[in-house]
Amino acid sequence: MGLFDQIASAFTGSDASGELGKLQAVAGVVEQLQDATGSDSSTAHTILSLVGTHVLSSLQDKQSTDGEGAVQNLVEQFSGTEHDPDAVDAVFTPEVQQQVAEVVADRTGLDANLIQEILPKVVPVILGVFHIGGTPLLTSLIEAGTNGDVDFASIAKLAAGYLGQR
């Protein structure tokens, strides 16, 4: 089963009712980013995509050094829908947080300090994507990310589309 099919399956499978809150958070984060940054949906999707790529890279590094169990524990502990600075600290060192903010700022034209301020809202939601569908999807996302095949903005669009059809 391909990655897209696994994600769609997590959205529509028999346990999807328990995942509805996570789906709503993923879909809603774009609007929240627009409100927080005063930007359009394209910029919000760019933020989500870039931060998601960095979260994925960090999880890949953590998996290679600490093992799959450590990544699973981190995702379970810090995935959510609420503002959580501890999630950002668990995923990124302070130096990496600054680097992520600068990369996103360079690509979007937004202020790097503003990007750092919104990371505690974005990171838990991105971790929630890894948590949808459990360990098999988490493993697939991490493996697919090594090929650059994971785009969190597309996942947010998929979630919004699914929720719009309900």
Query: How far is 47 from 112, CA to CA, in rounded Å?
Result: 12
List pLDDT tens digits, range 44-54. Answer: 889 988 998 89
> pTM to 2 decimals?
0.77
Q: How many CB atoms lie within 10 A of CB 90?
A: 18
DSSP string, 70-93: HHHHHHHHH-SSS--HHHHHHHS-
Segments in the chain below pLDDT 50: 1-4, 14, 136, 145-147, 163, 165-166
Handedness of CA 154, 159, 162, 163 (dihedral sign): negative
Comparing CA positions, the residue from 145, 110, 112, 147 lying closest to residue 126 is 145
List pLDDT tens digits, range 69-93. Answer: 998 899 989 988 889 999 999 999 9
